[in-house]
């Protein structure tokens, strides 16, 4: 806990209070290994059988039939054929929430604005059984190659991969649904122990987040929906961004229903959720925004 930067401790205490922050700080420390069954290539029953053969214990997740909590480290999972074959994807439970809340449907045009390394993109493909038209953007060439690799490994089809900064996408493009899992400071994750975690990173991230959300609103179809998410628990990267950008009456925040098992932190905007860091979850903010018909 002493490794958490003092400036971040102060920000979190000011936002949540000392008692709640004690819980948050403890939630940063220890994490369970979690994975998602890739239903494009396998099914939960077969994956459970393979885990049993490997003498790896697991827990099921009540609110997500495709998720498993593993009593083993990631290195052991990577040694399994089911990992090498793309039948499973190592992914945090919090990271699985945005695609589920987006609720993608077959034949919809869907944009993933910051797609690499591809966990959420491949999850969208799996949810829609490869029947949605997905555009996945990544501006960094190295990360783009990782995205392509994971898409192929996971069997995700009908994905148009673009090496592009999503802020520069043409306003003539239009999408039914957009996932904006925005680049962030990672203040809800173990990144807080990284020596690179700075106040400047938070400021830089919030500027990028605002620009991305403004672009997303422009290229969203009427009656379309955006999921805005970050792995930050700071209002500077979450509620403050929404309050800056969503001032027009043609947009509304859609209330998110979430499982009771998920512990949440208080938010200032009704309908949004901020997942509390715990042994099972990373800190994660999620908002659903709808563009009303003209």
For the chain, percent helix, then strand, then coil, each to nearest 5?
Answer: 35, 20, 40
- Point out the catalytic residue in the list 21, 137, 184, 231: 231
**Residue closest to 258 by CA, chosen among 97, 126, 104:** 97
Would you state the torsion angle of the CA atoms of residues 182, 260, 110, 206, taken in this order, to the nearest 10 degrees?
-10
- Provide the terminal-to-terminal Cα distance of the chain, rounded to the nearest Å: 50
- Say whether 276 is catalytic: no
**Residue closest to 209 by CA, chosen among 229, 233, 234:** 229
**Residue closest to 159 by CA, chosen among 89, 220, 110, 216:** 110
Cβ-Cβ contacts under 8 Å for 283 (sequence gap 6 or more): 24, 27, 94, 187, 188, 189, 231, 232, 233, 265, 274, 275, 276, 277
For residue 102, the Cα-to-chain-centroid distance in whole angstroms is 11
β-strand partners of 273 = 286
Tokens coding 63: 């609110």
Which positions are annotated as active-site residues? 231
């Amino acid at each position: 806990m002493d490794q958490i930067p003092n400036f971040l401790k102060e920000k979190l205490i000011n936002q949540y209070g000392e008692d709640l922050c004690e819980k948050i700080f403890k939630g940063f420390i220890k994490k369970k290994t979690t994975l998602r069954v890739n239903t494009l290539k396998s099914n939960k029953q077969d994956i459970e059988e393979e885990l049993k053969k490997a003498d790896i214990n697991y827990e099921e997740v009540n609110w997500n039939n495709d998720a498993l909590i593993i009593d083993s480290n990631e290195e052991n999972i990577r040694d399994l054929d089911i990992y090498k074959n793309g039948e499973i994807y190592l992914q945090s439970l919090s990271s699985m929430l945005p695609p589920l809340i987006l609720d993608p449907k077959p034949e919809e045009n869907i944009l993933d604005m910051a797609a690499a390394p591809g966990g959420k993109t491949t999850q969208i493909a799996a949810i829609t059984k490869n029947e949605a038209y997905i555009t996945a953007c990544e501006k960094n060439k190295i990360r783009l190659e990782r995205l392509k690799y994971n898409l192929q490994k996971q069997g995700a089809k009908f994905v148009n991969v673009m090496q592009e900064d999503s802020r520069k996408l043409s306003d003539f493009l239009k999408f039914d649904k957009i996932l904006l899992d925005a680049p962030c400071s990672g203040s809800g994750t173990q990144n807080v122990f990284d020596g690179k975690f700075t106040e400047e990173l938070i400021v830089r991230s919030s500027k990028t987040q605002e620009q991305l959300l403004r672009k997303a609103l422009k290229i969203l179809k009427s009656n379309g929906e955006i999921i805005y998410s970050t792995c930050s628990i700071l209002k500077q990267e979450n509620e403050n961004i929404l309050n800056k950008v969503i001032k027009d009456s043609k947009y509304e925040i859609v209330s998110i229903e979430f499982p009771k098992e998920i512990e949440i932190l208080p938010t200032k905007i009704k309908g949004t959720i901020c997942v509390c860091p715990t042994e099972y979850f990373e800190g994660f903010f999620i908002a659903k925004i709808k563009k009303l018909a003209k």
